[in-house]
Amino acid sequence: MALAKTYTPADVEAKWYQRWQEQGFFKAKPNPRKPAYSVVIPPPNVTGVLHMGHMLNNTIQDVLVRRARMQGKEACWVPGTDHASIATEAKVVALLKEQGINKRDLTREEFLKHAWDWKEKYGGIILEQLKKLGASCDWDRTRFTMEPEMTEAVMRVFVDLHQKGQIYRGVRMVNWDPQGQTAISDEEVIAKDVTGKMYHLRYEVVGQEGQYLTVATSRPETIMADVAVALNPNDERYNHLHGQKVHIPLLGREIPLILDEYVAIDFGTGALKVTPAHDLNDYELGLKHNLAVIDILNNDGTLNEKAVLYVGQDRFAARKQITKDLQEAGLLDKIEEYQSVLQTSERTGAVIEPRLSLQWFCKMDQMAKPALAAVETDEIKLHPPKFKNMYRVWMENVHDWCISRQLWWGQRIPAWYLPDGSFVVALNEEEALKLARQKTGNENLALTDIHQDEDVLDTWFSSWLWPISVFDGFKDPDNADVNYFYPTNDLVTAPEILFFWVARMIMAGLEYRKEVPFRNVYLTGIVRDDQGRKMSKQLGNSPDPLDLIAQYGADGVRTGMLFSAPAGNDLLFDIKLVEQGRNFTNKLWNAFRLTQGWEVNQDLPFASEKAVEWFGARLQETLVQLDEHFEKFRMNDALLTVYKLVWDDFCSVYLEMVKPAYQQPIDAETLKHTIGYFETLLKLLHPFMPFITEELWHELAPRGAKEYVCVAPWPKLTPVAGSADILSRMTTVLDVVAGIRNVRNQKNIGPSKPLVVAAKTEEQELLAAYAPIIKKLANVSELSFVHEGLTGAVSFVQGASEFFIPLEGHIDLAAERVRIEKEIEYNRGFLESVLKKLSNEKFVQNAKPDVIERERQKQADAEAKIAALEQSLASL
């Protein structure tokens, strides 16, 4: 069947993806005869759909995996999804609300049934979408962080770390999300620069009616939780107040003035209200000075009875009301605007409330030390290495990890509480009951006498085990999969989760396998629009990836994403890059169609030896460059290297060198080499453009049942003798061709008109040997060699050689002289006006330096143009 004139991605993508799966090419199993290559997917949220960040991340993973598979490695790419406690629970709660159901009216079991129903219906859509992109995952290995085996692994780790004293329960200051009504980790907090307000409040000094101390705060609604006002003992302004007390505005309660050098003298008024329940630094001050703790907020961010005032109001509504009341009472001195940072929840967007809360924590300091050393010594390499500093700072200042979440969807904390308030930690309730009986000495204790902790674990507490748990390394630490595929090779992820996922996986790997979980971490940038904004649905600046694939084809989108995606640097997405990717697929398609249109004559001699020799050397040079780019994870450089080899060298030069004259046959040897080169190029392109390469691979030659480019051997480096000289000679030849073509452009001589060229050169032997290529590429009818220049000819210099092209018969010499003379006259007039301006002292004294510099540049450009025109005129 004849090959279609144009490449239509929709006609081939589904076909080849299905065949790859039917052939089992993506499946991996331990194979001692092959080196292992394994990658675990950063599990997208089960609530997620494909976005531009996923496109970039998974394209890079697929390039690495496909190349490894072609290199003869047992390539295993493990897919899966994350249960995403906060995001999924919010989705289910919203869905129930639409049905008129309130979560609070359900039991935990009833809610979880709804959640699992939602997961089965909507969860994992993104994995199906990744298939459209061409992701070559081993889909039989798909995992979910809340499946039974994964949950069992989480329970085992929790129990083990608790027994080691690494996990504990205590009251600590946490980041509280009032909308999600749960604690979240530092890494799930998004800081936003905002213009805030500083309220200057008047606290009356006890026993000194009419005497006030002004205290500046950004949160006047929390004054009801004040337990002290702190002053710096070195602040002489307040010496007379040492040992005094003040009244809280509106509330009237007396609180002491305390002294602490922590207070900044030059910030605000130098007087700091101390609210231990609602600020981490205040909490530390409270511990130091043995102050009381008054928590005035409910879980949902409304004020409780301890506030006395504004009970039941939302914190921000209370802020508006108290501002008004303070003003009316004459207790508000002023309000100032200042640049502030607002802490918000990554999941819900709600403003975070620092809050004392009884939670479960995991100690990180000891586990962080070997994890830091693994990166510092390059046992794990970060790409690009600039992220080492960020990693170091985080790991040297690590805090205990708050691992409990006040949710129902997730892995429930394996702690059971006894009637006396104490608890036991166990893998399951049967073991918990056994431990409870041992602890109490009461063998009659029943399951109904103990109850499990209501909280679930932070989602990251399951995903930090991902590289081990996907291979069932906790269920059976010595199983064949984990022994063969662990540690994995490369991790592709985003810098913003370097600490709270990547670092924690390293800790878990060293803790439970005594080995790092991966060797390389490739950190992608953020996909931004042409204005530099992060792409998001909220801004409406992000195209739908599936629409892009439908319009431009998966290969076009993949290459478009990679064209400007250097590691660790943000990608400024431009639809023109995807168009360029699509154009590349069309270029490849048309190049193949060109070769298929040639008839072969077995009796013709080998006519393209120089071209074949050159492209072979160029191909080997590219393989060296390509291996280096892959080794250093320069993915966009790798793609551009192959792109230039295919578009510039093969399509634009090599095929032009070897293609036969119109309706003439090609010799068999040239065609054999050309098809061989095309086959090699398809292999090099396959990791980047899997679909079109598979289609052309099967069009190129008859293939066996298992002969797919998907599993074809990656081209091996085979050095070409004298390749440096071969490449150098062809560079000289192509420069000569470019010079001739440039003359055509300058003199408006069409490419179909043959030119006569004479060369004054010391490289006559070289140019004579390559004369057929020069004649063919530049449409030269005669190439001769002279000792003196030719009159009535245009000349150009290339290296140490000068080339002459007689123009008689190609252009009207008299008319060309008139045209050049007029252009010289015009440019001299222009130059005169510029010089006149620059000789004007008043202009030079008053004009800005950049304006003067532009005029001088105009002068230089005009002078250069006049000189070139005069030379052209002389040559005529």
Annotated binding-site ranges: 537
Query: Which of 463, 761, 774 is CA-nearest to residue 610?
Result: 774
Distance CA 738, CA 842 (A): 47
Q: Which residues, other chains included, contact 572 with Cβ-Cβ below 8 Å and sequence gap of 6+?
A: 528, 529, 530, 532, 564
The single-letter code of the amino acid at 280 is L
Provide the CA 584 distance to its chain's centre, in angstroms: 24
Distance CA 363, CA 341 (A): 28
Q: Are strands 666-667 and 271-274 parallel, antiparallel or unpaired?
A: unpaired
Evaluated on CA atoms 562, 563, 567, 570, the torsion sign reads negative
User: HSE-up of 92 (CA within 13 Å, CB side)?
Assistant: 29
CB atoms within 10 A of CB 300: 11
Per DSSP, helices labelled H in 104-201 are: 108-122, 125-133, 148-163
What tokens does 446 get? Answer: 């029943």
Query: Which of 662, 619, 667 is CA-nearest to residue 641?
Result: 619
Distance CA 317, CA 336 (A): 19
Taking CA 810 as the corner, what is the angle to CA 809 and CA 815, rounded to the nearest 5 degrees? 90
Query: What 3-state class would DSSP assign to 322?
Result: helix
DSSP 730: H
Instruction: List the binding residues for ATP.
Output: 537
The single-letter code of the amino acid at 513 is R
CB atoms within 10 A of CB 357: 20
Q: Which residues of 154-190 are buried (b: 16+ CB within 10 A; e: fewer)?
A: bbbbbbbbbeeebbebeebbbbbbbebbbbbbebbee
